[in-house]
Amino acid sequence: MKDNKPVKSPPMQTESSPEKNNSGLNREIQAKIGQQLRAAGSRVVYFAGYKKIIDRYKVEEIEKAADVVVWVCDEAPGFTPGRVQDSAFVGNIVEAMAAYGRGDLGSDLSDAGIPLSSVDRLIVIGSDGMMRAVQQARHSVLRPYLKPDHQAIGSINSPMQCMMKEICAQCLQVHRDPASGVESVVFSCFNQDQDLDRVDFGNLRARLGQNGVQEKLTRLWIDRSLRQLGLRQTAAE
Ligand code: FES
């Protein structure tokens, strides 16, 4: 790194998850985190992932949150970057990070130059599936491009009820020590930002699945109400 300041990279969610409706909120949080990191002197690479082109908004907020933005979209032809140091990629977040690491996107070679190999910390916010993919890819396809001693933090979206830190236990999350395999349990509402390598994502998926019926019913009810009011013509997907 040129300036010896910590570099942080928050890869973002592809919105294909059980918590799809939280994606807008996630985006707001990510933008604020990036802006505050930059204000504190960090340099930020932001992998902003979307399922569809139409899903993107608050572009300026995201640009303010990062020295370099990689706009990632599952849907072709993807995005057109608005700044010279930014780039775009069609595919998923892990593929985009690998392409950036290889230098295929060009942005890490620009004046803003933040190679993936200089990143000290990853902040991973999004669906449990995306966070799990990044957790695993760091030890496989992304390994050649990352510092061996980088830190990775996931913003763990356990289902929550009271959010009063150790009262109702709705937010319990299993951790597993990567070295010893010893299991422990934490309250996610006490601290959502958890060591990515310790999180048992199988447990998280099972806990999130417990809300599946209520989420489907709520979605159907809102869809029915909007169609009855004439605010939506056809049933939502
Ligand atoms: S949500 Fe109730 S203790 Fe965490």
With 0.75 as the threshold, say if the pTM is over it: yes
Q: Are 123 and 8 in contact (CB under 8 A)?
A: yes
pLDDT tens track for 104-154: 987 545 456 789 999 999 999 999 999 999 999 999 999 999 999 999 999
- Residue 156: burial class (beta carbons within 10 Å; 0-12, 13-18, 19+): buried
> Which atom, in ligand 1's list, is nearest to the CA of 190?
4
Cβ(170) – ligand 1 distance below 6 Å: yes
User: Is the domain of 163 the same as that of 142?
Assistant: no
Q: Is 42 left (phi over 0), alpha (psi -120 to 50) or beta?
A: beta
- The total number of structural domains in the chain stands at 2
23 CA from centroid of ligand 1 (Å):
21
User: Is the domain of 117 the same as that of 224?
Assistant: no
pLDDT tens track for 62-104: 999 999 999 999 999 999 999 999 999 999 999 999 999 999 9
User: Is the domain of 139 the same as that of 214?
Assistant: no
Cβ(191) – ligand 1 distance below 6 Å: no
**CATH number, position 106:** 3.40.50.80
